[in-house]
Structures are given as structure tokens and as C-alpha cells.
């Protein structure tokens, strides 16, 4: 866990910027009773937001949309990964049935 | 040996700083690894173009490169950890990134497929959690004309036997859909309930019609009221009011009654427009007939000719 000051320092962001991003829900620090803690994942996410706004010229509205869609994609990808792992455990004939079904549908 | 940064960005060696930035942005939008969570090559290519941009995007560095003082190999960015690297981690290892994940994008699949519901119902935490919002329930509600104009409360029977009180705001329009938050079907895994979506169908009124915020009404008046004027009771959506008919009113004359139209959200109301129609008595009165036959001025007046009176 990173303290607030350390997070700002490593993310190379002003405190006010971090506050605004937290307020917008773009960053969700873990809250304890007395302070907010940031993770390495939060740091990478902050870097992404920085890339979007500074390098790619995306405005705030655009960033909100991108983050929302990205969060959906990651949710989907996790679901797909879990599904894929579960399918790998099925008996060979069930997998063959499934493959046939998928092939029929993709035609 | 690194590639020529101009070629990497696809710009000419004499390109302006503006052009270089535009070229970089265009490529970066396509290749940023976090915008391509499943594309492994994106990271390598993004590293290349961002390295090239680090060099060419800075006029000073670019000049040194052009003079041959530095080469492209120094331009590589240090290894960067992308957000996707955290979001991709399986299970508990991903911990921190999980809270951002959303399952909104496939909530509808899980509603109709118990295997997918199982799949998405198993994980915990997360922004929308793996909780699934309940489906919306559509309803169709007939509303009396006056209830739509004035606002009302109506009781709906739900499929599960319970009832739902619906507040119809004044001025609701035909076909409008009222959304009652959380009155739909319950969510999965502690997710919020769906909404009740109530489509409003307004039943027409025998005498009132509606035009935006205004009410229109055809009002029959007698010949004496038309000629001599007088005070008559006029129905409005909130009950009858007394209106003065000016002397010499005609069929087709439109009178306005302020503030007796359709209720609005801001508490104001539109107006009611009353169109007068002169109606003769059902049986012709001999006295009237004999007066009219001796009435010279009436004979000379031809309403189908403009101008004369």
C-alpha cells in the first residue's frame, strides 16, 4: 500500500489532480479509518489516465467513457478466462460437442 | 540497432513538430497497450513509437539526432507496467484492479443463462461487483385525459400480486414512459433491482383536446348570448369557471382562459382556448322567423363576400 503523498510522488501528479480523479471515481483508493491507501494497480491506472489526457489528447468526458468501457472489457475478459479454464476441465466428448456447436454457429 | 524514428512514426524528416505530434497521437490511440488489453504485440510497437516520439517530439533532442550527436537507441523508454498487467492477473493476485471491473457489459447474458450467471456470480468485489442488476419490467397504463392533465396517483397490480402506486405528474404526454427506480425484478448477488417502465396511454376526452400545454374546447352558445353577450359557465380541467362572452361574438371566435390548461412540472399551467359555436334553438321560433324576414340589414349582409357589413 502506498500512502497518499508517496502515490502522488510516484505518479508524478499534483495532490489536487489525484483528489479530482478520486472524486470522479477514476481511482478508488482503499480506505481505512484514518487514511487512503493506493496500490501498484492504482499507480498503473493513474499512468493510463495521464497517457490518455496528456499524450493522446483525450478530454475528461472521453476519459470517463474510456475507463468505463475498459472496466467492462476487463470484467468480460476475466469472465472469458474463467469460462475457458472451466471448459478445459470438461470431458473430451463434451468439448468435442461444444466445438461442433461453435463451428455450426460461426458459419 | 533501433529503427529510424521518422520511419517509425511514418513522417518525413522535414515534418513539423505539429505533424510529428499528430502522427504519434494517431498511432498511440491505436497501439496503447491499455487500449488493447488482448494484443501482446501492441506493447512492443507502442514502445517503439513512444520512444521515437520521445526523441522527435522534443525539438532539442530532435536537432541533436538530426546532427548525428545521438542515435535512436538511447530513446527507448524504460520498461513500463501497464494497467492491463494488473487487470489481467488471475484470481486473488489481481486484487487491487478487481474493484474497478464492471460486469455491466454482459449483465443481460447472465440473466438468461444460468451457466453464465454462475460464472459471473462467483467472483466477489468489483465496482459493479459481480452483482447483477435485476431486469426492468414494462407496463402499459391507461390514464384518463384529466388525470394526465392534472396529475394523479394510480395503483398498478404487479405480476407477483403486490401493488405499486404510480404518481402521474401533471402534463404527462401520450406515449411517455415513467421509470420507477428499483421497482423492477430483483437483482442477482445483491445487485440492485431493475426499474418498472410504465408506458402511458392517454384516453381521449369527449370535449377537451390538448395542444402542448394548452387545452382546446368547442363551446356552444345561444344566439342571444352571441348577440347580447353574457356570462356562461365553461368547463375546464379543474372544474367550471364563469366566462364573459362579449357582445356580438361569432361562431369561430376564440376566447382564452388563462391558467386553465395543462399542468406543468414547474407548477404553472397552460391556457384553455374556447372556440364559440352559435347554436339555434332546436325548434324554430315563429317570432324569430318573422323578425328575421323583416330584417333588412340582415338581408343585405352576405358573409361570403369580404368587406361588406
Kindly state whether residues B236 and B294 are assigned to the same domain: yes
**Domain membership flag for residue B186:** yes
Three cell numbers written together for B68 = 548525428
Domain total of chain A: 1
Q: Is pLDDT above 80 for B25?
A: yes
The answer as to whether B168 is a domain residue is yes
What the block records as the C-alpha cell of B200 is 402511458
Asked if residue B165 and residue B97 are part of one domain, the reply reads: no
**Do B86 and A79 make contact, defined as CB atoms within 8 angstroms?**
no
Average pLDDT of the segment spanning B169-180: 89
- Are the beta carbons of B104 and A74 closer than 8 angstroms? no
For residue A42, which residues of chain B lie inside 8 Å, CB to CB? 96
> Do both B109 and B56 map to the same domain?
no
Residue B132, domain member (yes or no): no
Give contacts of B123 with chain A, Cβ < 8 Å: 78, 82
Provide residues of A within 8 Å CB-CB of chain B. Answer: 28, 30, 39-42, 44-45, 47-48, 51, 55-57, 66-68, 70-79, 81-83, 86
Nearest CA in chain B to A1: B96
pLDDT at B126: 45
Q: Report the pLDDT value the prediction gives residue B91, as an integer from 0 to 100.
A: 57
Q: Is A92 exposed, middle or buried (0-12, 13-18, 19+ CB in 10 A)?
A: exposed
Residue B67 and residue B147 share a domain: no
As beta bridge partners, residue B198 has: B139, B178
The ipTM (two decimal places) reads 0.84
Question: Mutation test of the interface with chain A: which of B24, B27, B101, B117, choosing the one with the most A Cβ atoms within 10 A?
Answer: B101
Interface of B with A in 228-267 (CB under 8 A): none
Give percent of chain B with pLDDT exceeding 70.
88
Place of cell 505518479: A11
pLDDT recorded at residue B100:
84
Per residue in B91-107, pLDDT (tens digit) is 555 456 777 887 777 77
Q: Tell me whether residue B189 is in a domain.
A: yes
Buried b (16+ CB within 10 A) or exposed e, A8-24: beebebeeebbeebbee
* Residue in chain A nearest B80 by alpha carbon: A44
If pLDDT is split at 50, 70 and 90, which confidence band does B125 have?
very low
User: Across all residues in chain B, what is the average pLDDT?
Assistant: 84
Shared-domain flag, residues B147 and B226? no
- Distance, in Å, from the CA atom of A87 to the CA atom of A102, rounded to the nearest integer, reads 13
Instruction: Check if the beta carbon of residue B180 is closer than 8 Å to that of residue B171.
Output: no
Domain containing residue B19: 5-84
Cβ of B123 under 8 Å from any chain A Cβ? yes
Is B219 a residue whose pLDDT tops 90? yes
Q: Are residues B232 and B256 in the same domain?
A: yes
Q: CATH number for the domain including B214?
A: 2.60.260.20
Total domains present in chain B: 4
CATH number, domain containing residue A70: 1.10.1660.10
Range(s) of the domain holding residue A62: 4-106
Amino acid at each position: 500500500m502506498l500512502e497518499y503523498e508517496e502515490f502522488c510522488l510516484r505518479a508524478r501528479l499534483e495532490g489536487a489532480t489525484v483528489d479530482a480523479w478520486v472524486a470522479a471515481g477514476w481511482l478508488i483508493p482503499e480506505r481505512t479509518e484514518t487514511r487512503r491507501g493506493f496500490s501498484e494497480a492504482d499507480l498503473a491506472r493513474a499512468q493510463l489516465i495521464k497517457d490518455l489526457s496528456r499524450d493522446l489528447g483525450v478530454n475528461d468526458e472521453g476519459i470517463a467513457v474510456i475507463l468505463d468501457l475498459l472496466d467492462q472489457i476487463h470484467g468480460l475478459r476475466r469472465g472469458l478466462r474463467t469460462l475457458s479454464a472451466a471448459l478445459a476441465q470438461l470431458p473430451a466428448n463434451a468439448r468435442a460437442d461444444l466445438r461442433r456447436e461453435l463451428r455450426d454457429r460461426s458459419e | 540497432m533501433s529503427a529510424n524514428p521518422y520511419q517509425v512514426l511514418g513522417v518525413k524528416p522535414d515534418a513539423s513538430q505539429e505533424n510529428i505530434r499528430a502522427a504519434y497521437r494517431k498511432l498511440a490511440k491505436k497501439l496503447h497497450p491499455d487500449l488493447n488489453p488482448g494484443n501482446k504485440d501492441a506493447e512492443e510497437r507502442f514502445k517503439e513509437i513512444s520512444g521515437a516520439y520521445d526523441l522527435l517530439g522534443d525539438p532539442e533532442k530532435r536537432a541533436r539526432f538530426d546532427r548525428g550527436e545521438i542515435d535512436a537507441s538511447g530513446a527507448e523508454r524504460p520498461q513500463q507496467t501497464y494497467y492491463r498487467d494488473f487487470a489481467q492477473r488471475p484470481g486473488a493476485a489481481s486484487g487491487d484492479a478487481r474493484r474497478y471491473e464492471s460486469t455491466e457489459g454482459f449483465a443481460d447474458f447472465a440473466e438468461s443463462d444460468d451457466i453464465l450467471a454462475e460464472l459471473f456470480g462467483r467472483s466477489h468485489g468489483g465496482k459493479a461487483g459481480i452483482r447483477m442488476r435485476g431486469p426492468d419490467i414494462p407496463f402499459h397504463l391507461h390514464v384518463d385525459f384529466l388525470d394526465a392533465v392534472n396529475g394523479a396517483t394510480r395503483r398498478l397490480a404487479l405480476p407477483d400480486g403486490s401493488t405499486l402506486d404510480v404518481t402521474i405528474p401533471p402534463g404527462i404526454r401520450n406515449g411517455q414512459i415513467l421509470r420507477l427506480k428499483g421497482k423492477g425484478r430483483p437483482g442477482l448477488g445483491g445487485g440492485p433491482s431493475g426499474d418498472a417502465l410504465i408506458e402511458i396511454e392517454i384516453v381521449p376526452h369527449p370535449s377537451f383536446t390538448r395542444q402542448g400545454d394548452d387545452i382546446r374546447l368547442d363551446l356552444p352558445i345561444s344566439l342571444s348570448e352571441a348577440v347580447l353577450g353574457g356570462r356562461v359557465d365553461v368547463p375546464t380541467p379543474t372544474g367550471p369557471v364563469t366566462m364573459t362572452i362579449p357582445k356580438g361574438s361569432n361562431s369561430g371566435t376564440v376566447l382564452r382562459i388563462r391558467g386553465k390548461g395543462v399542468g406543468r412540472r414547474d407548477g404553472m399551467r397552460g391556457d384553455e382556448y374556447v372556440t364559440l359555436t352559435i347554436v339555434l334553438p332546436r325548434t324554430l321560433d315563429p317570432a324569430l322567423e318573422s323578425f328575421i324576414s323583416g330584417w333588412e340589414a340582415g338581408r343585405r349582409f352576405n358573409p361570403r363576400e369580404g368587406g361588406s357589413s
